[in-house]
Amino acid sequence: MKHYLLIGAGFSYNWGGWLSIEAFEFLLGDPAVVKNRELRELLWKHQPRGGFEAALDELQRQPGSHSKENEAQLRAAIARMFAAMNLAFTSGGLEFARGPLNEQPVRDFLVRFDAIFSLNQDLLLENRYRGTAEGLIDRANPKTQRSWQLPGMKLLEDPAVTLRYPLETGLWVPSGKHDLASDEQPIVKLHGSSNWRTAEGSEVMILGGGKAEAIARFPILRWYADLFVQCIARSGTKLMIIGYGFRDDNINIALERGLDRGLRVFIVDPKGAFAADSLNEVPKEGIGYAPTTIQQKLVDALVGASRRPFASTLSTDSVERQKLDRFFEG
């Protein structure tokens, strides 16, 4: 049986990453946005539904050079937001707390997955998810023996820089090789990353609306999208979802295909088993309410959920931890 992990912004939040509402508040204070009344009004307009990505989507759809200028300014502000968050992730470790025998509960939890699929474009995992706290693989420890890989990507090497190990936070470009190393855990960043570039220097980072169409422009992301569908559609597969708000149509369509093939799901979210309800524009008590397709499919597919904070579950909450451990059984 294969076990996969899908993570969204709510995962990085455990280490101080910003959720959508917090990203909105950061962008409001960005110097370029402060000076641009139209951008501020657009961010306020979309914050209740869709956040800054919906604001960016509106600009992408509007014709004219003025809209393109605003789009460029908003993209630059978003880039500064990621830079600020990534800088914070360069210090500190992965673990929330160490056990009496110096256990690494978060690392030991993550290495149990056959692959990690991420919707996050921050560099949390690149900075903190390594074999040891120092960022090196400890080959003497079987629990940390398996390093991770960014399949199909390679570090853009700078001959002027020499380090004992690759600079994971440097710029990465597609390698042109769409294969998986059998001895390494794949980290598949489905929407690209804040430090990925094409050979021509363009960002490989999907933001705003029309994600499926945007993904189609990048061979590496097309491969990732196909890989995600293939993995979760396999018989006897389990998927744990941490911190994803079910707001990306391309991901939901992939999930529905997996659910139709018997995918079993465990959700870690403050709303627990009802995390997908936020996708529905009509509340359950509202007139005309009807469950969405994914809501209906999850009723049969869920094999558990946890609504307690992920950080406390893996550090001090041994009762709730049993739920997460049970996911790997069978």
Q: Which pLDDT tens digit goes with each residue over 273-282? A: 999 887 767 7
> Which residue range is the domain that position 275 belongs to?
2-15+101-327
| Residue 272 counted as domain residue | yes
> Which pLDDT score, from 0 to 100, does residue 158 have?
61
Task: Give yes or no: residues 109 and 222 share one domain.
Answer: yes
| Residue 110 counted as domain residue | yes
**DSSP state string for 111-124:** TTSSEEEE---S-H
Task: Give yes or no: residues 168 and 239 share one domain.
Answer: yes
136, pLDDT greater than 90: no
How many alpha carbons fall within 13 Å on the CB side of residue 86? 17
| Residue 158 counted as domain residue | yes
Task: Give yes or no: residues 115 and 201 share one domain.
Answer: yes
Three-state SS for 161?
coil
Domain final position from 30, 64, 89: 89
| Residue 54 counted as domain residue | yes
> Which pLDDT score, from 0 to 100, does residue 24 have?
94
Dihedral angle computed from the Cα positions of residues 160, 165, 168 and 169, in that order, rounded to the nearest 10 degrees: -50
pLDDT, one tens digit per residue, over 145-173 is 458 889 999 888 665 544 434 445 678 99
| Residue 108 counted as domain residue | yes
Q: What is the spatial distance between Cα 173 and Cα 157, in angstroms, rounded to a whole number? A: 10
Task: Give yes or no: residues 160 and 47 share one domain.
Answer: no
134, pLDDT greater than 60: no
Task: Give yes or no: residues 284 and 258 share one domain.
Answer: yes
Task: Give yes or no: residues 241 and 272 share one domain.
Answer: yes
On whether the pTM is more than 0.85, the answer is yes
Report residue 15 CA to chain centroid gap.
13
Task: Give yes or no: residues 122 and 54 share one domain.
Answer: no
Task: Give yes or no: residues 215 and 76 share one domain.
Answer: no
Residue 187: strand pairing partners: 116
Q: What is the spatial distance between Cα 221 and Cα 225, in angstroms, rounded to a whole number? A: 6
Domain final position from 64, 89, 114: 89
Average pLDDT, the chain: 87
Of the pLDDT bands very low, low, confident and very high (cuts 50, 70, 90), residue 101 is low
* Count of domains forming the chain: 2
Residue 174: strand pairing partners: 153
Task: Give yes or no: residues 269 and 228 share one domain.
Answer: yes
| Residue 96 counted as domain residue | no
Task: Give yes or no: residues 164 and 304 share one domain.
Answer: yes
Task: Give yes or no: residues 126 and 249 share one domain.
Answer: yes
132, pLDDT greater than 70: no
| Residue 94 counted as domain residue | no
pLDDT, one tens digit per residue, over 28-67 is 999 999 999 999 999 999 988 888 988 998 998 888 888 8
Task: Give yes or no: residues 174 and 311 share one domain.
Answer: yes
DSSP tally for the chain: helices H, then strands E: 14, 11
CB-based contacts of 293: which residues, under 8 Å, 6+ apart?
A: 256
pLDDT, one tens digit per residue, over 200-216 is 888 999 988 888 899 99
